[in-house]
Structures are given as C-alpha cells and as structure tokens.
C-alpha cells in the first residue's frame, strides 16, 4: 500500500464556510484555472471572450445553498480560501445580474451567474463533485480543465495524481494503522513523534515552524468558538434557523458545579464553531467544513476546563491528524462519497483519538477510541435541508463531539486488547458502506431529513 503523504496543513485548512467540498475546493480549483489560463500564450487568449463553468454531482444539487457559485467567482478573481474576506465573499452574486472581470493577460473576461451552470442528473465522471471550467472564444473552447472536489477542500485535476510533485519518501511510511503501529514499535516512537517526523519531510518545515502553524490552526478554531458564543440571531438562508450556542453557553455557566455542566459546555463550544461555519465565517476544516465544530469543541474544552498546555494540544492534534489521514487514504472524508459518516464520523474519531492521546493513553487506546467513534457513525446520511449546512449539520457536530468523548471513555475504561474490531477494519467497512449507500443520501438533499424542509 502506498504511503500517506498528506500534510497536517492540508487536512486542517483555513477558509470560509459553509462547505469545504462546495466552497473551499471550488475556490481553489477556480484559482488554479486562473493561473493556468494566464500561463497560455498571448496568441491562445487573443479571441477569449468568456469563461463557462459546469458543476456536476452534489456541486450541482446543493451548490447554491453551499455558495459554490460564489466560490467559483472568488477563485477566478484571484481570491484564496485562507486570505478571503468572509464579508466580501458573502456579498458576491448578491445581485445575480452583476458582472465581474477576470484578468487574463491584459484582457478582462466577464464572468457572471449566467456563466455558471448547475448540471442536473447522473454523470460518468470518476468523482461525484466534478467541475469543468472552459475559456471560450469564437464559440469554441480555447482551454478546458476538469477538477474533482474530493472532500475536505482537497481537489484533484484530471490526469494529475495527488501529491504527484512529492518525490521524498517520509522517514516512517505507513498506509494503515497496523503499519503505523509497526513503525512506532520498530523505532520506539510515540504517535505524535512519527506524524511530526513525517510532516517535517513532507513540508520541509522545522519542528518550531510546524508547532507555530499548529498554534495558528488552534487560534483560528478557538476564535470561531468565541465568536459563535457571542453571536446571536438568525443564520443566513431561507430556513431562518436561530443560533443556539450563546444560550446554551449561558445555561452551562449557570450549571457550574453540576455534573452535567461539562457536557453542556462541550455542546455549546461545538455548536458555536459549527454555527460560524453555517454563517460563512472563517473556520478550519477538521477534516471538513461541515464537520468543523467537533475538534474545535473538544480542544476548547481541553484548553479551558482541563487546562492542557500548548504542547499537549499540539500533540493531540497530531494524533487526530493520524486518524484523519487514515480515513482519507483508505475511505473518504467527502460527504458526497461517504455521507456524513465521512465528515462528522471522521471528526468524532479524530476527536476521540485526541482525547485519548492527550490523556496519556497508549496507541492501543487511541486506536480503540477512534474505531468506536467511527463504528457508531456507520451509515450516517448527508441530507442537509435546502442544501444549507444547518439542519442537521450543526447539531450533528455537537453530537459528534459528545460521541468522541464517550468513545474515549469506553476505550480507556476497558482493556483495549479485548477490542474485536480494528481501526483498519472499520475504515474498510466505512468505505464499503459509502459505496453501497444510495446517492440520494449523499449531499444531494434528495432524501432523508432534506425532505422535511416543508415543515421548517
């Protein structure tokens, strides 16, 4: 099996909500297309007159609610997810007749809502979330690129293998948890040490640089939590869903000393970050935007209530990343491929691993915690009402955080040697379940809770 070559900072990406597959991925694809058309010869773009964008799969089915059209415009304007102003982003296409100018060499190519086509129905592309971008001139295609948004803001371009530019093999290669544990055993290393050593080779960054960037990731996550705890009112979109996090946080504070209070705090923290995602604010994919409330909620709890220091949290995030890598490598973190078990299910497993590792448990307990968390998300559908990452997505993040905590408790309370199902096995089951699941339940809003929208 090929070695995992994903960087921590590819898994944990900063950008605007509400969806990494529908917002961050398409923005990155459109930005890449902008770079490529500007690399063409002058003669090739001489007749360029328009850019046409075709969206397939759930990019078409729920792209409007997820802001995919805005994301495409933003990328073509040269915006990037990490540098994007969420207020300016939300204002794009407020008027569907507004035209924008894409700079190609010394030409300005117009782009508007009419140039973005939501193509309904089945397709034959290798990934559900597919984009075609075309530079047009004289009714003919000058240049075309095919992109796939494969979950968590990761994109692939047709004909280009992921990590194709990476030629250096990590010092401790692994593709499964079994192989990862073998590396740890052979070299007497901790889980976080293996992930950190590989990260240094994959990115070329030093230990201090990596720690600084991890601290930045936590800063973005926890700022989202704090903003969400203070932000009241109605979330964007036709559902008119009212934020719950501020009220729940006040309830938790009133319950201080009550045994239930820590759970109420955990729910409030996870809801806060997830509501910020639904509002299109800046969040961190963990591993996706749709699941961006679980790890922030868990880590904020550890910071505020357990008083874990920076190094403990860094180490915990490395453990969480290891689980995220394994799911992405051997199944998928895309809701369009795996349903919500690929998003919140993976986030819960990552959170459970983080909790177990931060508490000082061995790799066997960390693995068991992650396995239990995934096991009890198997078959979970991705069926957002109206295509908005609100119902059931926001509460599902809070539930995922609580499941992460309970998975950690179950794994650490018993003997991990008695665990009958390995993490590798449950990830294989996860992939098989996702492949068997009807596409209606995978981010298309064609079934499940999405059909209850008339009641909302």
pLDDT tens digit sequence for 414-424: 777 778 899 99
pLDDT at 40 over 60: yes
Distance from the Cα of residue 422 to its chain's centroid: 24
Side-chain-side CA neighbours of residue 212 (13 Å): 5
Task: Specify the pTM.
Answer: 0.91
Q: In terms of C-beta density within 10 A (0-12 exposed, 13-18 middle, 19 or more buried), how is residue 197 classed?
A: middle
Averaged pLDDT, 177-181: 98
Beta partners for 154?
151
Which among 278, 293, 314, 287 is positioned nearest to 222, based on CA atoms? 293
Which among 67, 66, 80 is positioned nearest to 34, based on CA atoms? 80
Beta partners for 103?
108
What is the band of 115 on the pLDDT scale with cuts at 50, 70, 90?
very high
Q: What is the pLDDT of residue 165?
A: 46
Which of 36-50, 209-223, 289-303 is predicted least confidently? 36-50
Alpha helix positions (H), 39-143: 58-61, 63-66, 68-76, 86-91
pLDDT at 130 over 70: yes
Peptide bond into 287 cis (omega under 30): yes
Q: What is the pLDDT of residue 394?
A: 98
Cα separation, 141 vs 194, in Å, equals 48
Alpha helix positions (H), 204-343: 207-230, 245-254, 261-278, 294-304, 310-330, 335-338
pLDDT at 164 over 50: no
Q: What percent of the chain has pLDDT over 90?
A: 82
pLDDT tens digit sequence for 314-357: 999 999 999 999 999 999 999 999 999 999 999 999 999 999 99
Q: What is the pLDDT of residue 166?
A: 52
Which of 166-180, 238-252, 398-412 is predicted least confidently? 166-180
pLDDT at 427 over 80: yes
Averaged pLDDT, 31-37: 96
pLDDT tens digit sequence for 276-288: 999 999 999 999 9
Q: Which two tokens stand for residue 236?
A: 């964007």
Using an 8 Å Cβ cutoff, are 10 and 154 in contact? Answer: yes
Helix axes of 393-413 and 294-304: crossing angle, nearest 10 degrees: 60
Q: What is the pLDDT of residue 163?
A: 53
pLDDT tens digit sequence for 70-99: 999 999 999 999 888 989 999 999 888 899
Which among 207, 280, 300 is positioned nearest to 8, based on CA atoms? 207
More confident site: 138 or 359: 359
pLDDT at 454 over 80: no
pLDDT at 229 over 90: yes
Q: Which two tokens stand for residue 307?
A: 């008083």
Q: What is the pLDDT of residue 382?
A: 93
What is the band of 61 on the pLDDT scale with cuts at 50, 70, 90?
confident
pLDDT at 100 over 60: yes
Cα separation, 446 vs 456, in Å, equals 16
Q: What is the pLDDT of residue 222?
A: 98
Cα separation, 219 vs 161, in Å, equals 32
**Which DSSP string do the residues of 378-430 spell out, in sequence order?**
TT--B--GGG-S-TTHHHHHHHHHHHHHHHHHHHHHS-GGG--S-HHHHHHHH
**Average confidence score pLDDT of the chain:** 93
Averaged pLDDT, 174-181: 98
Q: What is the pLDDT of residue 344?
A: 98
Cα separation, 65 vs 237, in Å, equals 8
Q: What is the pLDDT of residue 58?
A: 86
């Amino acid at each position: 099996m090929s070695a995992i070559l994903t960087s921590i900072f590819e898994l944990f990406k900063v950008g605007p909500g509400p969806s990494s597959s529908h917002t961050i991925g398409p923005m990155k694809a459109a930005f890449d297309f902008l770079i490529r058309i500007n690399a063409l010869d002058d003669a090739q773009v001489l007749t360029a007159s328009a850019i046409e964008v075709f969206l397939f799969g759930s990019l078409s089915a729920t792209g409007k609610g997820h802001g995919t059209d805005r994301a495409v415009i933003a990328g073509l304007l040269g915006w990037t997810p990490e540098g994007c102003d969420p207020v300016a982003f939300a204002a794009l296409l407020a008027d569907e007749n507004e035209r924008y100018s894409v700079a190609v060499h010394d030409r300005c190519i117009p782009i508007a809502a009419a140039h973005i086509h939501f193509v309904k129905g089945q397709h034959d592309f290798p990934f559900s979330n597919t984009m075609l971008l075309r530079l047009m001139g004289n009714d003919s295609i000058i240049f075309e690129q095919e992109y796939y948004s494969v979950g968590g803001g990761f994109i692939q371009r047709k004909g280009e293998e992921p990590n194709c530019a990476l030629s250096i093999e990590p010092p401790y290669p692994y593709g499964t948890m079994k192989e990862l544990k073998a590396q740890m055993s052979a070299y007497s290393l901790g889980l976080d040490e293996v992930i950190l050593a590989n990260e240094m080779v994959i990115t070329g960054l030093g230990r201090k640089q990596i720690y600084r960037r991890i601290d930045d990731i936590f800063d973005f996550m926890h700022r989202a939590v704090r903003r969400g705890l203070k932000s009241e009112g109605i979330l964007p979109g036709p559902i008119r869903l009212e934020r719950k996090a501020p009220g729940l946080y006040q309830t938790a504070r009133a319950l201080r000393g009550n045994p239930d209070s820590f759970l109420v705090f955990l729910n409030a923290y996870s809801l806060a970050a997830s509501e910020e995602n639904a509002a299109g604010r800046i969040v961190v994919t963990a591993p996706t935007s749709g699941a961006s409330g679980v790890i922030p909620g868990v880590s904020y709890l550890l910071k505020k209530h357990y008083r874990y220091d920076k190094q403990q949290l860094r180490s915990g995030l490395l453990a969480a990343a290891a689980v995220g890598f394994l799911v992405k490598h051997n199944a998928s973190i895309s809701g369009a491929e795996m349903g919500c078990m690929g998003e919140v299910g993976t986030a819960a497993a990552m959170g459970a691993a983080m909790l177990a590792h931060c508490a000082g448990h061995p790799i066997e307990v960390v693995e068991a915690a992650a396995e239990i968390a995934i096991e009890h998300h198997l078959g979970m559908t991705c069926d957002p009402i109206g295509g908005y990452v609100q119902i059931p997505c926001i509460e599902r993040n809070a539930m995922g955080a609580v499941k992460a905590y309970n998975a950690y408790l179950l794994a650490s309370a018993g003997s991990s040697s008695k665990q009958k199902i390995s993490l590798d096995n449950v990830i294989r089951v996860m992939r098989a379940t996702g492949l068997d699941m009807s596409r209606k339940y995978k981010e298309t809003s064609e079934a499940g809770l999405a059909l209850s929208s008339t009641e909302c």
